[in-house]
A and B are shown apart, each in its own frame.
Chain A
Amino acid sequence: MEDDIRERLAAQQYREAFELLVERFKDKVFRLAFSMLRDPAAAEDMAQDIFLKVWKALPGYHGAASVSTWLYTIARNTCLTELKRRAARLTVSLQAPELEGAVDAIPAMQTSDPESGAGMDTHAMLDRLPDKYRRVVTLFYLEQKSYEEVSAMLGLPLGTVKTFLFRAKKELLRIASRRPMTAALA
């Protein structure tokens, strides 16, 4: 699935290689960014920045890793940098007492209809998971329950993905069992 991209890169046809890369991976990169940033608008901006970085880095790609591995690594690192920047900003703003509401500025999952009560509850529960678990769960369901895709996109071993997913679900059940509104899940 990457051979045509590799051929064009080897021939230094960067523009053509890039067009193929964007066409094939734009949704994946967007979903990866979304699983990490939890906000569609921010994820789309991030996907733009990621591909811009990829464009600048294309001539430096020498085929050590597969194209997708290389691309996902750039994508993850770009997102992690953004998350660190946000965390630093939040720390600063929390030091000002009049800005206590700043915590609400962290975008939460906005995937489903806000009118549907049960959906909101699932998202609220997901928000309470540790980052590493929430990313795996989110991406797993965004990627049609493919362990392999989650493993490739998050750069985690397959076994780790399975373990995280299992622990995340157990944790979600534990959270649900404490909430009378979601008794149906327990």
Chain B
Amino acid sequence: MACPEFEMSVAAWLEGQLPAGEREAVERHLIGCVECRAFAEAFRHLDAELVRAVKAPKLSADFAARLRQRIDAEPPAVVAARRAELKRRLQAEYEAGLARMQRRFHSFGAVLDVLASGCLLAGAATAAVVNAPRLLQFLPANLRGLPDPTLVVSAVVGAVFLLAGGIAAWRTRGRVGSWV
């Protein structure tokens, strides 16, 4: 076993990969350390053995010719290039269309906002006008029982419109923001 702090340097030293200063340090250590000398010797042996044993096999002489034959049977790269270009253009058009649609959604949400606010205001006004006298007159009684149906309906319809408009506007705005 080599000294753990030296074994990697010894391997690098064998490959001639050490800068001058480190090289001298390793060589000084090797003079005094039998273990590291044995390790270096084993490493050098292994290297020589691997050089001898690991040989690249040869590619067949007709490799390129065979490849050419297969290429000729394939649709030429140029056709593929045109197809890729067409695909890119279609993708771009699709994305532009999608962005347009998102913008339209956005305006639709704004319309809904206005509509909902209007409905709520109108509902509230109607309810106020219709119920004001009775409300003022029977306020304590109404607090114990159910409120007037007209008031409930107009408030609910107004709230639903406001909510729907708000959600639509919020969602499209978020998406348009990420697209633009």
A112:B53 contact, CB within 8 angstroms: yes
Interface residues of B in 43-59 (CB under 8 A from A): 43, 45-47, 49-57, 59
Q: Mark B50-83, 1 if CB is under 8 A from A, else 0.
A: 1111111101100110110011001011101100
Q: Give the interface of B toward A (CB within 8 A).
A: 7-8, 11-12, 15, 42-43, 45-47, 49-57, 59-60, 63-64, 66-67, 70-71, 74, 76-78, 80-81, 84
- The CA-CA distance from A30 to B61 in the complex, in Å, is 13
Taking CB atoms, residues of chain A closer than 8 Å to B8 are 166
A173:B46 contact, CB within 8 angstroms: yes
- The CA-CA distance from A172 to B63 in the complex, in Å, is 34
Interface-side segment among A42-50, A73-81, A93-101, A148-156? A42-50
Known contacts A58-B77, A59-B77, A186-B42: A122-B59 contact under CB 8 Å: no
B77:A184 contact, CB within 8 angstroms: no
Q: Which residue of A lies closest to B80 (CB)?
A: A59
- The CA-CA distance from A27 to B47 in the complex, in Å, is 23
B70 contacts which of A43, A52, A169, A173 (Cβ < 8 Å)? A52
Question: From DSSP, what is the main secondary structure of chain A's interface residues?
Answer: helix
A47:B46 contact, CB within 8 angstroms: no
Q: Which residue of A lies closest to B48 (CB)?
A: A185
Taking CB atoms, residues of chain A closer than 8 Å to B84 are 59-60
B70:A48 contact, CB within 8 angstroms: yes
Taking CB atoms, residues of chain B closer than 8 Å to A141 are 50-51, 54
B63:A44 contact, CB within 8 angstroms: yes
B81:A111 contact, CB within 8 angstroms: no
